Structure 1
Amino acid sequence: MGEVRTERLLIRDWTLDDAEEALAIYGAEDVARWLTPEPHVVRDVQAMRSVLYAWVEAQPNLVAPAGRWAIVRREDGLLLGGLSLRLLPPYEEDFELSWQIRPDEWGNGYATEASRAIIRWAFDQGIEELFAVARPDNTRAIAAARRLGMEWVGETTKYYDRLLQVFRIRPSEL
C-alpha cells in the first residue's frame, strides 16, 4: 500500500520501532477487551515487538487489500492506533475492517478519518464490500461504523462463534 495520507493522519506499515507506542494501544485493557476473536492484552514491550514482528513478516504475503497499518498523527508523529483489513473466518470471503485507537485519543475522530481513507483505498483495489463486526455492547465501535456510513446487516455467530453485530459498506455508499 505504501502510505495513505489524510488531512491529519499518515497511515503506514508497522515497524518494530513502533513497539513502545503500540503498547499504549494493544496493552490497554479498554482496547484489548473488544478484539476478536478473543480479547488479548499485550503485557510488555517485548511481547508487543513480537506481535509487530509477526505483522511485519506477514504483510508482504497477504492478498491485497488485506493488511495491518499504523495510524500516525502528522502534526507530531504520535502513533494513534492501528487499522486492519483481513478476511473473516470461516470461509475467508468477507473482508473485515477493524480499527484500534489509544484510549487517551478517543473522541477525536481519528478512527473515522483513517477508516474512510482505507475504505476508499480498498475499493480502489476492486473490493466490492467491506464489513465491520462488533460485540453488541461495543457502543463505540458501533457508532464509528455508523459514522463511516456502514449499514447494519444483522447479527451473526458465523465469524467467531460469538454473537456479533455486522455492518457493511459498498462503493456506491461512499
Structure 2
Amino acid sequence: MVWRTERLVLRMWEPGDVARALDLYGRREVARWLGAAPRVLEGEAEAVALIERFRGRSADPRFGVWAVERRDTGVVAGSVLLVPLPDGGGEVEVGWHFHPDSWGRGFATEAARAAVAKGFADGLAEVRAVVRPGNDPSLAVCRRLGMEPLGRTDRWYGTELEEFVLRAP
C-alpha cells in the first residue's frame, strides 16, 4: 500500500532501505524512546531483520509499519505505524519514529494524521498513542493530532508511558 500526503509518501519499508533504517534505528537519540529496554541497531543484519519485521506487521491490510519518504527528496524521513497494542485487548496504536535530520518539520504529525485517517476509514473507533514520559516532541505530536491524554500506564511495553486516545469523528 502506498499513499501520499502533501509532502510525504507512506509506503512499505523495502530491502533497499537498509542503510537508512540502520542510520535511523542505530541512533541513540531515536532508540532511547523505543521499547522497554531501548537499544540501537548494531549492523546491517539487524536492519534487514527490522525491515522484515516491519513488513510482517502488514499481513492485515488495516495495520502496518510504513516508511515515510519525503516527496521533495525521496529520502526516508522515518516510520509511521498503526498496529494493535501487544496485550491483545484490541486497542490500536499510532506511532512515529523519525531521523534527527527530519525533526521539527511537522513530518511526524503529517504522517500520523494520515495513518489515523486510514485507521478510521478502515473502521477503527479509536486510536491510541503511548509515549515515554519526557519525549516532549512526541507529546506535542499527540496534542497537534487532538488526542485526549489519559494519564500514565504501564499496561504496554513493560514501562510507564503517557497514554492518549483519539476517537473517530
Q: TM-score, normalized by length of structure 2? A: 0.94
Give the Å deviation of 1:59.
3.8
The count of corresponding residues between Structure 1 and Structure 2 is: 169
Where structure 2 has 5 or more consecutive residues not aligned to the other structure, the ranges are: none
Give the Å deviation of 1:54.
2.8
Where structure 1 has 5 or more consecutive residues not aligned to the other structure, the ranges are: none
Q: Which moved more, 1:131-140 or 1:42-51?
A: 42-51
Match of residue 140 from structure 1: 137
Paired residue type of 1:91? G
Q: Which moved more, 1:109-118 or 1:34-43?
A: 34-43
Match of residue 125 from structure 1: 122
Give the Å deviation of 1:50.
1.8
Paired residue type of 2:33? W
Cα gap change, 1:150 to 1:83, in 2 (>3 Å): same
CA RMSD of aligned residues (A): 1.3
Q: TM-score, normalized by length of structure 1? A: 0.91
Q: Which moved more, 1:35-44 or 1:141-150?
A: 35-44
Asked if structure 1 preserves the Cα contact closer than 8 Å seen for 2:82 and 2:116, the reply is no
Pick from 72, 89, 97: which aligns with 1:75? 72
The separation in 1 between residues aligned to 2:130 and 2:70, in whole angstroms, is 25
Paired residue type of 1:25? L
Pick from 100, 111, 124: which aligns with 1:114? 111
Paired residue type of 1:38? A
Asked if structure 2 preserves the Cα contact closer than 8 Å seen for 1:64 and 1:125, the reply is no
The separation in 2 between residues aligned to 1:33 and 1:18, in whole angstroms, is 22
The separation in 2 between residues aligned to 1:65 and 1:7, in whole angstroms, is 22
Q: How do 1:45-124 and structure 2 match up within 5 A?
A: 45-56=44-55, 58-61=56-59, 63-124=60-121
Give the Å deviation of 1:15.
0.7
- 1:34 lines up with 2:33 in the alignment: yes
